Amino acid sequence: MGTAAKRAFWRNENSGGWIWAFVVLLGIMLLHSLAILLFTRGFLLTRTELSQYSQCNDIAESPCFPPDDHSANRSCWTKPVVDRLVIIVLDALRFTIFELLHGFDFKKPWMDKLQVLHEFASQNQSSAKIFKATADPPTTSLQRLKGLTTGGLPTFIDVGNSFGAPAIVEDNLIHQLVQNGKRVVMMGDDTWSQLFPHHFITSYPFPSFNVKDLDTVDNGCITNLFPTLYEEDWDVLIAHFLGVDHAGHIFGVDSNPMIEKLEQYNEIIKKVVGVLESQSGPGGLHENTMLLVMGDHGQTINGDHGGGTAEEVETAIFALSSKKPPTTLLTTSDSSSCQLDMHGRRICINSIQQLDFAATVSALLGLPFPFGSIGRVNPELFSLAGGTWNLEKSTNGDDQSPSEGNNWMQNYVNVLCINSWQVKKYIDVYSSLSLIGFSEKDLLHVSELYSEAQELWSIVSKNFSDKSQMGFASFPLLKRQLDAYSAFLESVAALARSSWTEFNLKMMGIGFCIMLSSLCLHVFLIRRLDNLCGLHSSLPDYSRKLFGLSFACIIVMIRALSFLSNSFILEEGRVASFLLATTAILQLRYAIMKKMMLLEALVLCLLVPLLRISIELGQLKQAVNSLFLKVDPSKTLGIDDGSQFWMYVAEVLPILALIIVAYLLYKCIASSSSQGILKYVVFGTLFNYMLIALHWASDSSLLRQHMLLGGNGNLIPRVTYAAGFLQLLLLAIGQLIVKERSSNLEQRTVVKALALLSAWSSTIIILSGKQGPLVVLALFIGGWCLIRLMALEQDAKNYSSGSSLSYALPVTQWSLLAVCMFFSTGHWCAFDGLRYAAAFVGFDEFNLIRQAILLTIDTFGFSHILPIFGLPLLVACCYSLRQNKQVFSMRLCQVYLMYGFITAITVTFTMLCVTIQRRHLMVWGLFAPKFVFDVVGLLLGDFCILLSAVYYIA
Partner 1 sequence: MQKPLQQRKAPESKNAAVSLASPLKLLLLHLTCGLGLASGFWVAFNFYSFTLIQNSTETLLIVWAVEASIVIPLYSLFRRNPDQCSYVKAIVRGLLGLPAGALVNAPGAIVLGAPVGIQHFPKTVHWSLLMSVFTFVPAASVYGSSWADWHRIFAHTKPVGSTDFIICLPAHGAVIGAWFGAWPMPLDWERPWQDWPVCVTYGAILGYLIGMVVSFGFVVFHNRRHHGKGD
Contacts with partner 1, residue ranges (CB under 8 A):
565-568, 570-571, 574-575, 577-578, 581-582, 584-585, 589-590, 592-593, 605-606, 608-609, 612-613, 628, 634-638
Give the 3-state secondary structure of residue 553.
helix
* Closest distance of CB 635 from partner 1, Å: 5
- As a residue count, the chain comes to 954
Nearest to 172 by CA among 194, 143, 150: 150
Nearest to 683 by CA among 771, 766, 762: 762
Q: Judged by CB, which is closer to partner 1: 577, or 700?
A: 577
* 3-state DSSP percent of the chain in helix, strand and coil, to 5: 65, 5, 30
Q: Judged by CB, which is closer to partner 1: 804, or 824?
A: 824
Nearest to 825 by CA among 814, 812, 834, 815: 834
User: Which secondary structure element, helix H or strand E, spans residue 509, and what is its range?
Assistant: helix 505-533
Amino acid 650 reads A
Alpha-carbon separation of residue 682 from 189, 677, 728 (angstroms):
55, 9, 11
Q: Judged by CB, which is closer to partner 1: 322, or 626?
A: 626
Q: How far is CA 670 from the centre of its chain?
A: 48
* Closest distance of CB 609 from partner 1, Å: 5
* Closest distance of CB 779 from partner 1, Å: 18
* Closest distance of CB 637 from partner 1, Å: 6
Dump strand ranges (E) for 79-235: 84-90, 128-134, 157-159, 184-189, 202-206
Give the 3-state secondary structure of residue 289.
strand
* Closest distance of CB 306 from partner 1, Å: 15
Give start and end residues of each alpha helix (H) in 279-370: 310-313, 357-365
Q: Judged by CB, which is closer to partner 1: 62, or 636?
A: 636
* Closest distance of CB 608 from partner 1, Å: 6
Backbone angles phi, psi at 186, to 5 degrees: -125, 145
CB 146 within 8 A of CB 169: no
Give the 3-state secondary structure of residue 257.
helix
Who contacts 606 (Cβ-Cβ below 8 Å, separation ≥6)? none
Pairing mode of beta strands 236-241, 84-90: parallel
Q: Does 257 sit behind a cis peptide bond, omega within 30 degrees of 0 on the bond before it?
A: no
Q: Judged by CB, which is closer to partner 1: 317, or 607?
A: 607
Q: Judged by CB, which is closer to partner 1: 249, or 827?
A: 249
* Closest distance of CB 820 from partner 1, Å: 12
* Closest distance of CB 594 from partner 1, Å: 9
Pairing mode of beta strands 289-294, 337-340: unpaired
Backbone angles phi, psi at 815, to 5 degrees: -70, -35
Angle between helices 3-11 and 16-43 (to 10 degrees): 120
CB 899 within 8 A of CB 812: no
Q: Judged by CB, which is closer to partner 1: 504, or 582?
A: 582
* Closest distance of CB 540 from partner 1, Å: 10
Alpha-carbon separation of residue 309 from 297, 304, 763, 916 (angstroms):
11, 11, 49, 15
Q: Judged by CB, which is closer to partner 1: 74, or 594?
A: 594
Q: Judged by CB, which is closer to partner 1: 542, or 578?
A: 578
Q: What are the DSSP calls for 879-912, one per residue?
A: S-S---HHHHHHHHHHHHHHHHHHHHHHHHHHHH
* C-alpha span between 885 and 891 (Å, rounded): 10
Q: Judged by CB, which is closer to partner 1: 324, or 574?
A: 574
Alpha-carbon separation of residue 489 from 164, 245, 333 (angstroms):
34, 32, 18
* C-alpha span between 58 and 412 (Å, rounded): 19
Q: What are the DSSP calls for 237-255, one per residue?
A: EEEEE-HHHHHHHHH-SSS
Q: Judged by CB, which is closer to partner 1: 587, or 763?
A: 587
Q: Judged by CB, which is closer to partner 1: 419, or 566?
A: 566
- Long-range pairs, 581-584, Cβ under 8 A, ≥24: 581/605, 581/608, 581/609, 581/612, 582/555, 583/551, 583/555, 583/809, 583/812, 583/813, 583/816, 584/608, 584/813
Residues forming beta bridges with residue 89, ordered by sequence position: 240, 294
CB atoms within 10 A of CB 41: 16
Question: What does the CA dihedral 922, 925, 927, 930 come to, rounded to 10 degrees?
Answer: -160
Q: How far is CA 745 from the centre of its chain?
A: 47
Q: Judged by CB, which is closer to partner 1: 196, or 823?
A: 823
Q: Judged by CB, which is closer to partner 1: 356, or 571?
A: 571
Radius of gyration of the chain from Cα atoms?
34
Q: Judged by CB, which is closer to partner 1: 146, or 612?
A: 612
Q: Judged by CB, which is closer to partner 1: 593, or 737?
A: 593
Q: Judged by CB, which is closer to partner 1: 613, or 954?
A: 613
Measure CA of the first residue to CA of the last residue in the chain; give whole Å.
21
* Closest distance of CB 630 from partner 1, Å: 8
